[in-house]
Amino acid sequence: MEPWPTPYILMVDRGGCSFVQKVRNAQKAGAAGVVIADNTCLCSDHDCVSANGEDVCQPAEPIMADDGSGGDISIPSFLMFKVDADQIIAEVRANHPVQVEMQWALPQPDDRVEYDLWTTPSDPVSKEFQKKFKPIAEALGDRAYFTPHMYVYDGIKSNCQGFDGENMCFNLCTNNGRYCATDPDNDLDHGISGADVVKESLRRVCIWKQHGDSDGIGSDWWDYVGQFMERCDSPDYFANEDCVKDCYKHAGIDQVVIDNCMRDSGGLDKDQTNTFLDLEMQAQVKRGVVILPTAFVNTVALRGGLSVDTVFTAVCNGYLEGTEPKVCTECEGCADFDQCIAKKKCKSSGGGVSPHMFMGSILFISLIFGGAAFWHYRKTREDMREQVRGILAEYMPLEGDDGQVGSPMDFAKRGGTENLMG
């Protein structure tokens, strides 16, 4: 069979290998897009279950996510439910032409965008984003609402809490194994522990509750995170309380208020629940977060690298058409993006130059060429005079109109003001 001419959308069955590997193989084969046909009915779809006579069904929608190795994939892909995929497969097997269109769009409900970031205090990928996004959050103002979320592992589901309430995962967890995080440096005896990450996660949740929840901007929260990454983001200082106090001071945050918040929510020491950490775990299950870091704009996950430009563009595309704030219309695609965010105006739209710079350049070039032309004219004139002097020097003296005999050299020296022809 001859290869199908590109571009084409390839449908493949689910199973056998990871989603990423399937899409990568399809990309190498020349596909412009991939539709993965699910092979199991949803338990809630009773018609699909009864039609296929299956005893096994899946209780929730499957999550199609990058396993961390999909950086080389550039074609789009999505998963199609079995009940829908079966209809397309039947048409293809009947040798009927099938036309499929793949389309994505951010929801645009109104003139305010809501966006979230899921990460951890030890996540290295999102650090650059967290360092640089504060000016954009402030520029968007009340037209966008940001919510930072801290990803915490459920220690009970991970069997980190024994039947007698004992912490089976040691310093990876708090609250006797209820809330856990991975060890950033993979060394249980030294450096940053998982419990340290959980504590810093709760601290940041409390800072947001006090300094960002009301306006969705959270300038003080951004300041604290930036200060922490600058001062405390190392194995020696990550859990150092003095370093944290220094961050509080420079970010303008009241330590007593945050300490009370962490304690009143349930704390981290005893075998008891923490309200805020429970809410974070419930939210991550509801949202279907499986890859860190992940950003959501209007409930839609952003795929690919987490960068300031990517999130800003997605937020600007999330507004109802015609309601975009000025910072979006001015700065999206601006060459000097940082300057545009600061001034809310693009100085050189599209990478061009300002009118003053353009006219100044034209004037400077004109002066250069004008000066060169004048120098060339003067030099040519002098060369012609030298040639005339040489020619006149070869002739006999001539008599002028006044009867006086003059020298041609005298004429040449006077600049040619005398008529030699009489």
What integer pLDDT is reported at residue 303 of this predicted model?
65
What integer pLDDT is reported at residue 241 of this predicted model?
96
Q: In percent, how much of the chain has pLDDT > 90? A: 53
Which residue did the predictor score with more confidence, 353 or 59? 59
Measured between alpha carbons, how far is 212 from 401 in angstroms, rounded to an integer?
Answer: 102
What integer pLDDT is reported at residue 8 of this predicted model?
87
∠ CA 44-48-54, nearest 5°, is 95
Q: What is the pLDDT of residues 137-146, one digit of tens each?
A: 999 999 999 9
| Sequence-separated contacts (24+) of 165-174 with Cβ below 8 Å | 165/271, 169/194, 171/195, 173/198, 174/198, 174/199, 174/268, 174/269
On average, the pLDDT of the chain sits at 86
220 CB burial (10 A radius; 0-12, 13-18, 19+): middle
Report whether pLDDT(420) > 50.
no
> Mean of the pLDDT values across residues 197-209?
98
Residue 375 contacts by C-beta under 8 Å, 6 or more apart in sequence?
A: none
Report whether pLDDT(125) > 80.
yes
Lowest-confidence pick of 208-222, 325-339, 370-384:
370-384
Which residue did the predictor score with more confidence, 290 or 355? 290
Tokens of 311: 């999130």
Measured between alpha carbons, how far is 420 from 416 in angstroms, rounded to an integer?
Answer: 9
Q: How confident is the model at residue 102 (pLDDT cuts 50, 70, 90)?
A: confident
> Mean of the pLDDT values across residues 33-52?
88
What integer pLDDT is reported at residue 422 of this predicted model?
46
Q: What is the pLDDT of residues 207-257, one digit of tens each?
A: 999 999 999 999 999 999 999 999 999 999 999 999 999 999 999 999 999
Which residue did the predictor score with more confidence, 12 or 395? 12
> Mean of the pLDDT values across residues 59-73?
76
Tokens of 54: 């299956």
Going across the sheet that includes 77-80, the strands are 9-13, 33-37, 77-80
Report whether pLDDT(398) > 80.
no
Report whether pLDDT(402) > 70.
no
What integer pLDDT is reported at residue 71 of this predicted model?
72
> Mean of the pLDDT values across residues 150-175?
94
Lowest-confidence pick of 336-340, 349-353, 385-389:
349-353
Report whether pLDDT(114) > 70.
yes
Tokens of 180: 């856990």
What integer pLDDT is reported at residue 410 of this predicted model?
54
Peptide bond before 121: cis, by omega within 30 degrees of 0? no
> Mean of the pLDDT values across residues 79-106?
87
What integer pLDDT is reported at residue 113 of this predicted model?
96
Q: What is the pLDDT of residues 172-192, one digit of tens each?
A: 999 999 999 999 999 989 999
Overall pTM > 0.75: no
> Mean of the pLDDT values across residues 93-119?
87
- Asked if 174 and 195 touch (Cβ cutoff 8 Å), the reply is yes
Tokens of 198: 């959980």
Best mean pLDDT range from 107-111, 186-190, 367-371, 375-379:
186-190
Q: How confident is the model at residue 158 (pLDDT cuts 50, 70, 90)?
A: very high
Report whether pLDDT(276) > 60.
yes
User: In 3D, which of 235, 238, 214, 210 has the Cα closest to residue 223?
Assistant: 210
Report whether pLDDT(412) > 80.
no
